Amino acid sequence: MNRRKFMAVSVLLAGPSILDPRAGFAMSRALWPGPQLSDAQLTALLHGWLDAFNADDATSYRTFIAKYLPDGLPYLDDDLAVRDASGGLDLLRTELTSPNQITGWVKDRSWDRFSRVILTAKDSGHLSDIGFRGAPAPPNFSIPRLSAPDAVSAFDSRLHTEAAAGRFSGAVLVAKNDRLLYQQGFGMTNIADKTSINPQTRFCIGSMGKMFTAVAILQLVQQKKIALADTIARYLPDYPNDSLAKKVTIEQLLAHTGGTGDIFGPKYDGHAQDFQSPAKFIALYGKRDLAFEPGSKWYYSNYGYVLLGAILEAVTGQTFDTYYAENIFHTAGMHSTSQLPSPNAVPYAGSLATDLKPVPPYYGTPAGGGYSTVDDFFAFARAFQSNRLLDPKHTALLTTGKVDTGNGTYSLGLAVSSRNGLPCYGHGGSAPGITGDFTIYPQQGYITVVLCNRGHPLALNAASYIGARLPAG
Q: Can you give 184-242 as a three-state secondary structure string? A: EEECEEECCCCEECCCCCCEECHHHHHHHHHHHHHHHHHCCCCCCCCEHHHHCCCCCCH
Q: Is residue 340's pLDDT more than 60?
A: yes
Q: Is residue 25's pLDDT more than 50?
A: no
Full DSSP string of 90-141 = EEEEEEEEETTEEEEEEEESSSS-EEEEEEEEEETTEEEEEEEEE-PPPTT-
Q: Is residue 14's pLDDT more than 50?
A: no
Query: pLDDT class for 5, splitting at 50, 70, 90?
Result: very low
Q: What is the average pLDDT across 132-148?
A: 93
Q: Is residue 242's pLDDT more than 90?
A: yes
Query: pLDDT class for 273, splitting at 50, 70, 90?
Result: low
Residue 305 confidence (pLDDT):
97
Q: Is residue 259's pLDDT more than 80?
A: yes
Pick the CATH number of 17-26+34-134 from 3.30.300, 3.20.20, 2.60.40, 3.10.450: 3.10.450
Closest-CA residue to 173 (of 203, 210, 137): 203
Higher per-residue pLDDT: 402 or 31: 402
Positive or negative: CA dihedral 437, 378, 222, 366: negative
Q: Is residue 434's pLDDT more than 90?
A: yes
Residue 16 confidence (pLDDT):
30
Q: What is the mean pLDDT of the chain?
A: 90
Domain 148-208+333-467 - what CATH class?
Answer: alpha beta
Query: pLDDT class for 250, splitting at 50, 70, 90?
Result: very high
Query: pLDDT class for 85, splitting at 50, 70, 90?
Result: very high
Q: Is residue 383's pLDDT more than 60?
A: yes
CATH number of 211-320: 3.40.710.10
Residue 272 confidence (pLDDT):
62
Higher per-residue pLDDT: 401 or 13: 401
Domain ranges of the chain: 17-26+34-134, 148-208+333-467, 211-320
Contact between residue 372 and residue 329 where contact means Cβ atoms under 8 Å apart = no
Query: pLDDT class for 271, splitting at 50, 70, 90?
Result: low
Q: Is residue 7's pLDDT more than 90?
A: no
Closest-CA residue to 137 (of 115, 104, 109): 115
Q: Is residue 6's pLDDT more than 60?
A: no
Max avg pLDDT among 2-16, 264-278, 311-325, 347-361: 311-325
Query: pLDDT class for 343, splitting at 50, 70, 90?
Result: confident
C-alpha 128/C-alpha 344 separation (Å) is: 41
Higher per-residue pLDDT: 157 or 27: 157
Query: pLDDT class for 33, splitting at 50, 70, 90?
Result: very low
Weakest-pLDDT range from 16-30, 210-224, 276-290 = 16-30
Kindly report the pTM of this predicted structure. 0.90
Identify the bridge partners of residue 365 per DSSP, sorted by sequence position: 368
What digits encode the pLDDT tens for the residues 297-314? 999 999 999 999 999 999
Q: Is residue 4's pLDDT more than 50?
A: no
Provide the 10 A C-beta neighbour count for residue 204.
Answer: 30
**Equal CATH topology for 148-208+333-467 and 211-320:** yes
Q: What is the average pLDDT across 236-243?
A: 97
Q: What is the average pLDDT across 210-218?
A: 98
